[in-house]
Structure 1
Amino acid sequence: MEKIKIITDSTADLPEYILKKYDIEVLPLIINFGEESYRDGIDIDIYTLFNKMENSSIFPATAQVNPQVFLDCYSSYIKKGYKIISIHLSSKMSGTYQSACIAKETLKSEDIVVIDSMNVTSGLGIQVIKAAKLKGAGLGIKEIENEVKKISPHIKSTLAFNSLDNLVRGGRLSKTAGVIGNILGIKIIVEVKDGEMSVVDKVRGSKKVLRSMLTYLDQRGIKSAEDLILLHVGEVDILDSLRENLNEKKLDFIECEVGCTVGVHSGSGACGVFFVEDY
């Protein structure tokens, strides 16, 4: 049986118990506050981040994992006889995937598989967990790569934000979407589609937001409760109702909290569901 190491980046937003359970290595993206730099989840946590954002005129910038970090990490595991599955946030959102590819090319190793998740946060997390379970089932790195790539286009999401300001400031949504989301109590519901943030629906009021999200879940259908993640950060008025609805449907799900890199863009109030659609 192959010795395989699963590697991802900090935007997977997986809880510590999952990382320990599946022995997953996480490489941190960087949060830059002016001249200060922090490793996501190591030097700064999400609540410290929000506190700094509230008390600073500087809007933080996020930076990719650089190739040297990947090179050092890959080299250490290859020397120990491991093969590597490295899965990362969408190449349309960050250069992290490209950094991983550069490191693989530098090492010229066939024992490293790098996957562009075309997703972020829990959409990436679902793929990482899938890879870890397949590793546990005894599959090789090429088989794992094929299986992860099969589910990747079928990962769906529905996300609600208290404010779209950070998504717009961070370049994740258009200014037009942000303006609409800030007038007349209109709420914009977002998904990750083709590796980028995309507007799904525009509704007014929290009850309609919840209804729209639940309708989306019902229409897509959930393939397996094993591939279902409830993601949130801060106070969101529909979170309890969303959680209650998933419990009523007797769906098991992992609950995750947004990390710092994603939190820069989401702001302090967001929640949503990531899942593999029934295909």
Structure 2
Amino acid sequence: MDKIKIVTDSTADLPKEVVEKYNIDVLRLLVNFGQETYTDGLDINLKQLLNKMENSNIFPTTTQFNPQKFVQCYKKYLSEGYKILSIHLSSKMSGTYQSACIAKSMLQTDDIVVIDSQNVTSGLGLLVMKACRLREEGLSIKEIEKEILNTIPHVKSVLAFETLDNLVKGGRLSKTAGIIGNILGIKPILTVEDGEMKVKNKVRGSKKAVRLIVDTLEKLKTNGKEPIVLLHVENKDILEILRNKLDENNNYFIECEVGCVVGVHAGPRACGVFFIEDY
């Protein structure tokens, strides 16, 4: 049986208990405020980030790892006899995946598998959790790779945003699409599709946003093996209603708060779900 190490980046927004349970190596990306640089989740937390953004004229940027960082990480595990499964945020959102691919080519080994999740935050996190479960079931690294690649198109998301300003400022959404988020009382509903953030719908008010999210879950159905991830950025209004709805429907779910890199682009008061549909 393959001895497999699973590596991801901090945009997976995995709960600490999941990281510890499966011994996942999470490479933490960087957040830059002008000349100041912070390590995601170590030097700065989400509350500090949002407070800093509210009180600063500088819009923060995020930084991917260079290939050498991946080389250092991979070398360590290869020397310990591991094969490495490295799953990262969408290549359309960051150069992190490309850096990992360059590192693999520099090491000239077939014992590293690098996967473009075509997703971000809990969409990436769900794929990482599934890879861990498959590893526990005794699948080889190639078998896990095949399963994850087959799963990628079935990772679904429905996300309600208070505003789309940060997604536009961070280059994750076009200015034209971002106009919707500035209409008073309108909740933009987004999804991650083909590796990019896309506007799915728009509704008026929190209750209608929750209804749309729940309707999507009921229509598509979940696979039942991985949890629904209830993701939030300090949005108690939608979070509480959505949590109660998931409980009422006996859904298997966990709650996650976004990390700082994702928080830069999400901004305050975002909430929604990621899940793997039944297929």
In the alignment, the residues of structure 1 paired with residue 271 and residue 166 of structure 2 have an alpha-carbon distance, to the nearest angstrom, of 15
Match of 2:237? 237
Equivalent residue, structure 2, for 1:73 = 73
For residues 249 and 187 of structure 1, the distance between their equivalents in structure 2, rounded to whole angstroms, comes to 24
Note the 1:132-143 alignment, pairs <5 A.
Answer: 132-143=132-143
Give, in whole Å, the separation in 2 of the partners of 1:235 and 1:255.
12
1-side partners of 2:176 and 2:160: how far apart?
Answer: 17
* Percent of aligned positions that are identical: 63
Letter of the 1:86 partner, please give it. Answer: S
Q: Distance in 2 between matches of 1:165 and 1:97?
A: 26
Structure 2 portions without partners, runs of 5+: none
Corresponding residue of 2:249: 249
* Number of the residue aligned with 1:169: 169
8 Å CA contact 1:117, 1:152 repeated in 2: yes
Alpha-carbon distance between aligned partners in 2 of 1:213 and 1:177, rounded to the nearest angstrom: 20
> 1:178/1:204 Cα in 2 relative to 1: closer, same or farther (>3 Å)?
same
Structure 2-normalised TM-score?
A: 0.97
Secondary structure of 1:230's match? strand
The total of aligned residue pairs comes to 279
Q: 2:64 aligns to what?
A: 64
Shift of 1:237: 1.5
Q: Unaligned 5+ residue runs, structure 1? A: none
Residue 11 of structure 2 corresponds to: 11
4+ long deviations beyond 3 Å: none
1:189 Cα deviation (Å)? 0.1
User: How far does residue 235 in structure 1 lie from its aligned partner after superposition?
Assistant: 2.5
Query: What does residue range 89-100 of structure 1 map to in structure 2 within 5 Å?
Result: 89-100=89-100
**Is the CA contact 2:12–2:124 (under 8 Å) kept in the aligned structure 1?**
yes
Name the Cα RMSD after superposition: 1.1
Q: Distance in 1 between matches of 2:225 and 2:46?
A: 27
Q: How far apart are residue 227 of structure 1 and its match?
A: 3.4
Q: CA deviation at 1:225?
A: 5.4
Alpha-carbon shift at residue 54 of structure 1 (Å): 1.4
So what's the TM-score if we normalise by structure 1?
A: 0.97
Equivalent residues of 1:86, 1:113 under 8 A apart: yes
Alignment of 1:223-234 (within 5 A): 223-224=223-224, 226-234=226-234
Q: Give the equivalent residue in structure 2 for 1:202.
A: 202
Is the 8 Å Cα contact of residues 162 and 188 (structure 2) preserved in structure 1?
no
> Would you say 1:117 and 2:117 are equivalent positions?
yes
